[in-house]
Chains A and B, each alone.
Chain A
Amino acid sequence: MTDISAQPTAGPLRRRVDTTSPEAQAAVRRRYRSEARFRTYGLLAILTAAVFLVVLLIDIGARALPAFTTTSLQLNVAVPSDLVPADQKNNPAAIRGADFLPVMREALKTAIPGVQGRGPERTLLRLLSPGAPDDLRERLAANPSLIGTTLKVPLLLSATADLYFKGAGTPINTRSSRGAATPSGTTGTITVSAPGNDFSENLVTVKLAVAERAQALAAEAERTARSSAPNAAERANELRAEAAAMAARAKDTAAAETLDSRLPSLLVEINGGLVKVSQLAADRIEGDVLLPLASTNEAKASDWRIVTYVTPESSRKIGDQEVAFLERFKANGQVEKGFNWRFFTSGDSREPELAGIRGAIVGTALTLLVTLVLCVPVGVAAAIYLEEFAPKNRFTDIIEVNINNLAAVPSIVFGLLGLAMFLNFFGLPRSAPLVGGLVLALLVLPTIIIASRAALKAVPPSIKEAALGVGASHQQAIFHHVLPLAMPGIMTGTIIGMAHALGETAPLLMIGMVAFIVDVPTSVTDAATVLPVQIFLWSDLPELAFKAKTAGAIVVLLVFLFVMNGTAIWLRKRFERRW
Chain B
Amino acid sequence: MKMDMTTQGIQAAQPYVAAKSSTASKVVARGVNVHYGEKHALKDVSVDVPDQAVMAFIGPSGCGKSTFLRCINRMNDTIPICRVTGKIEIDSKDIYDPSLDVVQLRARVGMVFQKPNPFPKSIYENVAYGPRIHGLAKSKTDLDEIVQTSLEKAGLFKEVKDRLNDSGTGLSGGQQQRLCIARAIAVSPDVILMDEPCSALDPIATAKIEELIDELRSNFCIIIVTHSMQQAARVSQRTAFFHLGILVEEGETETIFTNPRDERTRDYITGRFG
Contact = CB atoms under 8 A, between A and B. Distances in A.
Interface of A: 1-4, 391-392, 460, 462-463, 465-474, 476, 480-481, 485, 577, 579
B187 interface: yes
Interface in B125-150: 129-130, 133-134
A470 B117 contact: no
Chain B, interface SS category: mixed
Interface residues of B, number: 35
B106 A463 contact: no
A468 B106 contact: yes
A167 to B, nearest CB: 59
Interface stretch (B1-9, B154-162, B244-252, B266-274): B266-274
B143 to A, nearest CB: 14
Contacts of B268: 1
Contacts of B186: 470
B111 A469 contact: yes
A458 B87 CA distance: 36
A330 B26 CA distance: 100
B93 to A, nearest CB: 16
B75 A469 contact: yes
Contact of A476 (B78, B108, B118, B133): B133
Contact of A471 (B113, B120, B187): B187
B106 A471 contact: yes
A2 B268 CA distance: 10
Nearest to A1: B274
Contacts of A469: 73, 75, 106, 110-113, 184
B129 A470 contact: yes
A146 to B, nearest CB: 63
B273 to A, nearest CB: 5
Give the 8 A-B CB pairs with smallest separation, nearest first: A1-B274, A471-B107, A470-B130, A462-B117, A469-B111, A471-B106, A466-B117, A4-B273
Contacts of A485: 120
A467 B115 CA distance: 14
Contacts of B80: 391-392
B238 interface: no
B169 interface: yes
B118 to A, nearest CB: 7
Contacts of A468: 75, 78, 106
A392 B115 CA distance: 28
B259 interface: no
Contact of A1 (B104, B118, B273): B273
Given A3-B273, A466-B183, A471 B119 contact: no
Contacts of A462: 113, 115, 117
B47 interface: no
B60 interface: yes
Nearest to B129: A470
B103 interface: yes
B119 A473 contact: no
A3 B61 CA distance: 13
29 contacts: A1-B268, A1-B274, A2-B273, A3-B274, A392-B80, A460-B117, A465-B75, A465-B78, A465-B113, A466-B113, A466-B118, A466-B180, A467-B119, A469-B75, A469-B106, A469-B184, A470-B106, A470-B110, A470-B129, A470-B183, A471-B104, A471-B130, A472-B129, A472-B130, A472-B133, A476-B133, A480-B129, A481-B119, A579-B169
